[in-house]
Chains A and B, each alone.
Chain A
Amino acid sequence: MLEVTDLVAGYGKVKVLHGLSLTVQEGQLVTLIGSNGAGKTTTLRAVSGMIVPESGSVRLDGEDLTGLAAFKITKKGLAHSPEGRRVFPTQSVLDNLLLGAFPRLTGSRPRGDVEADLDRMFALFPRLAERRNQLAGTLSGGEQQMLAMARALMLNPRVLLLDEPSMGLAPRLVAEVFATIARLKEQKTTMLLVEQFAAAALEVADFGYVMENGRLAAHGPAAMLKNDPAVRAAYLGHAH
């Protein structure tokens, strides 16, 4: 469904990705793990159009999206919950969610039932329901993370990119975020998850890719990677 082939991208003259390929199948939860600076966030940014790849291709349902502006890629049904949450601080929780549905509300994606999806988000994230009229900038870090995820889901995306949803959260909230991801997976949401908590990510994922210095170091079913001695030694924090 999402096919990334030989992606080369970076910032100005600094190349970060040196030919990366990965595939996400419909209904799958795929995770991209690796140490800091391996190029995980850059991969997501190049896929969603926040940066323009130098070469390689990004395809969604067979359609070539390479080099399109981010807003056009979103209209094709790819949602990206970016690093650092990036909620709209001066707008209410509800308005942030409506902005997530912008292409649906303005006719460039099938409208569906926006009200029902709002209710679904409030059921998935009860804290957001309590704070629906509060400005997003006044939410706690964990609540902002939930809002960023819910906002991306409001697109009714074909595929959802999640960038480090656990970053900077207290352990209890990290567990909550992973529980939510597991629930989204049960609902057959197609996801590409970038995570620093490799063990937790491999626990929920179907398939995993391990990145190192802008290239793939390993890939395979999550259950297999979890037990791979090399992966365990390098990324799971313990070798036995």
Chain B
Amino acid sequence: MNILSQLIVSGIAVGMIYGVIAFSYQLTFATSKTLNFGQGEALMLGALVGLTTVNFLIGQALGTPLAYLLMLPVVFAFGLAQGALVEYLGVRPAVKANSEAGWIMATIALGIIFRNLAENIWGRDALRFPSPLPEASLNILGVRIQPMEIAIVVGALVIMLAVEVFNRRSIFGKAVVATANDRDAAGLMGIDTRRVITFSYALSSMTAAFAGVLIAPVTLTGATMGAVLGLKAFAVAIIGGLSSGMGVIVGGLILGITETLTGYYISTGYKDVPGLVLLLLVLSLKPSGLFGRATIKKV
């Protein structure tokens, strides 16, 4: 029983990271029906830029927690710029040319370029990200929890909630939702929908970059850290539904927990299997996702 709750708690932290990356996929899909297949690289770049910033600030004799907090705005700004660049270079030309699949190739290509760039700047070795919180586990009702794991769950919820509040409360957020609802009609409201799409890419990469610095202290940081996370989060986005806000949290938790359970009870070698089996099941039984609404494509 104890080991089971231990595994579930560990799964929750990983699952929230999957959830928040999947959420970032939803942001661009909602407005443009396109995705950044280099989203894992946005996360990786966020983590590495965060690492360099934190190390610089620690070098200025700041404590790690303060350095971590001051690093966040830098990573946010970097993520926004990186996402806007991906949209401008990879997505906009393909969409303008009416290419059905051009953006897929273009965002994958940009992702590979970003990974090579990172390998050349930060090297190929995995680096250690200084943890802003104590690394000693807390013992809560017999379950050991790292403080950073709690920070991951809180951070993931806060960023998703912040985006939700922005979308519902501010007129610019309403313009984003309007663009997601009906792009032509949004244009008639005087909304520059192309700019809204650039913005949603910026916001999406910012969210992924934030996920990067959330997970970096509990894992290893390096140029290759994003690829698998990006792919698994994509599975979560499909499982939860690309257009269902809450579905990705549930989908992320399901995947995170089944992974840790499989890793312990079956074999770490099969850790990645249940998520993929789940993905295949969802795709064959409910293609719009567990929580997604079926959309009928009008011709």
Contact = CB atoms under 8 A, between A and B. Distances in A.
Contact of B190 (A50, A75, A88): A75
A67 interface: no
Interface residues of B, number: 19
A88 B181 contact: yes
A91 B190 CA distance: 17
Given A74-B189, A88-B178, A103-B190, 19 more contacts: A50-B188, A69-B192, A70-B187, A74-B187, A74-B190, A82-B185, A82-B188, A88-B181, A88-B185, A91-B177, A98-B171, A98-B174, A99-B171, A99-B175, A99-B189, A100-B189, A102-B189, A103-B189, A106-B171
8 closest Cβ pairs, A-B complex: A74-B190, A103-B190, A86-B185, A70-B187, A88-B181, A102-B189, A105-B171, A71-B187
A70 B174 contact: no
22 contacts: A50-B188, A70-B188, A71-B192, A71-B193, A74-B187, A74-B189, A74-B190, A75-B190, A82-B188, A86-B188, A88-B185, A90-B181, A91-B174, A91-B177, A98-B174, A102-B175, A102-B190, A103-B190, A106-B171, A108-B190, A151-B189, A152-B188
User: Of A89, A100, A105, A109, which is in contact with the most chain B CB atoms at under 10 Å from its CB?
Assistant: A105
Interface of B: 171-172, 174-175, 177-178, 180-182, 184-193
A176 interface: no
B190 A155 contact: yes
A79 B188 CA distance: 7
B235 to A, nearest CB: 25
User: Of A88, A108, A155, which is in contact with the most chain B CB atoms at under 10 Å from its CB?
Assistant: A88
Contacts, number: 72
B171 A80 contact: no
B187 A69 contact: yes
A: interface residue count bin = 20 to 34
A69 B171 CA distance: 21
Nearest to B179: A88
Contacts of B171: 98-99, 102, 105-106
B187 A50 contact: yes
Interface in A130-176: 151-152, 155
Contacts of A54: none
A95 B186 CA distance: 12
Given A71-B193, A98-B171, A105-B171, A91 B188 contact: no
A88 B179 CA distance: 9
A78 B171 CA distance: 20
A150 to B, nearest CB: 13
Contacts of A106: 171-172
Interface of A: 48-50, 69-71, 74-75, 79-80, 82, 86-91, 95, 98-100, 102-103, 105-106, 108-109, 151-152, 155
User: Of B175, B178, B184, B190, which is in contact with the most chain A CB atoms at under 10 Å from its CB?
Assistant: B190
A48 B188 contact: yes
A236 B172 CA distance: 46
A231 B184 CA distance: 34
Contact of A70 (B172, B175, B178, B184): B184
A108 B186 CA distance: 15
Nearest to A45: B184
Contacts of A100: 189
B177 A102 contact: no
A140 B110 CA distance: 46
Nearest to A109: B190
Contacts of A48: 188
A90 B177 contact: yes
B191 A102 contact: yes
B182 A99 contact: no
Nearest to A154: B189
Contact of A99 (B174, B180, B184): B174
A74 B188 contact: yes
Contacts of A98: 171, 174
Contacts of A108: 190
A11 to B, nearest CB: 13
A82 B191 CA distance: 15
A82 B184 CA distance: 10
Nearest to B196: A71
Nearest to A103: B190
Nearest to B195: A71
Contacts of B180: 90
B88 to A, nearest CB: 18
Contacts of B177: 88, 90-91
A39 B177 CA distance: 31
A179 to B, nearest CB: 25
B150 to A, nearest CB: 33
A99 B193 CA distance: 13
